[in-house]
Amino acid sequence: MVKLIIMGPQGSGKGTYSSRMAPQLNNIPVISMGDLLRAARNDEEFGNVIKEAQDKGVLVSNEIVMNILKKRLEQEDAQKGFILDGFPRSLEQAEALEEITDIDATINLVVPREVSIARLSSRIQCKNCGKIYNKLYLKPKVEGVCDECNGELYQRDDDKPEAIEQRLKVYEEKTQPLIDFYNKKGIKIDIECNSVDIPPEVQVEKIMKALKEKELA
């Protein structure tokens, strides 16, 4: 059983690496807070509050976020471990997470800004199912068409270079306290990626090697 967090700037490959790590870690679930909040819009307890916040373009309260995550971690598949994809996002959330569960390791993807910009500028997404591709290293089988649902692929406005710069600046400001927090706890594992075209499999191999060295895989 292993409980992991994977964190890194936009374009660092969190989702891509997590989906490849999970089968090597007893098929533990990859849990994305974004996915949880979208699913929780239909939740009897929290749905209306979440819809209202998202419709207004404001953040859902930490209290509700943590309640939703707690319910997810209580599900049967998460009893064998999990990977939290991009969560927590603040020191307050990290401290609240400690009250819910222990974390064995935090994988910190260290990616130079220019690499993140190049990757995100090449990212395209399905309008229908949301699946993400990359024109550099994760191409669809048919250009412009989603492999999963045949939906149309497009580039989000916030994946254009001028928007990416601002997103990365905000990430760096908000995440440094988190990096310090997990570093002090002695559970942070830095995984560097200094090139745009490193295959995901190579990075996953580096992560798995680091986990094995700590006897977590």
Helix then strand then coil, % of the chain, to nearest 5: 50, 20, 35
14, 20, 119, 188: which one is catalytic? 14
List the beta strands (DSSP E) in 86-196.
105-110, 123-126, 132-134, 153-154, 188-192
Active site residue 20: no
51, 70, 80, 89: which one is catalytic? 89
Active site residue 135: no
Query: Are β-strands 153-154 and 123-126 bridged in parallel, bridged antiparallel, or unpaired?
Result: antiparallel
Active site residue 72: no
Active site residue 123: yes
3, 20, 72, 123: which one is catalytic? 123
127, 156, 212, 214: which one is catalytic? 156
Active site residue 160: no
113, 131, 135, 167: which one is catalytic? 167
Q: Which two tokens stand for residue 147?
A: 């492999």
Tokens 């798995």, located at residue:
208
d(CA 73, CA 205): 26
Positions marked active-site: 14, 89, 123, 156, 167
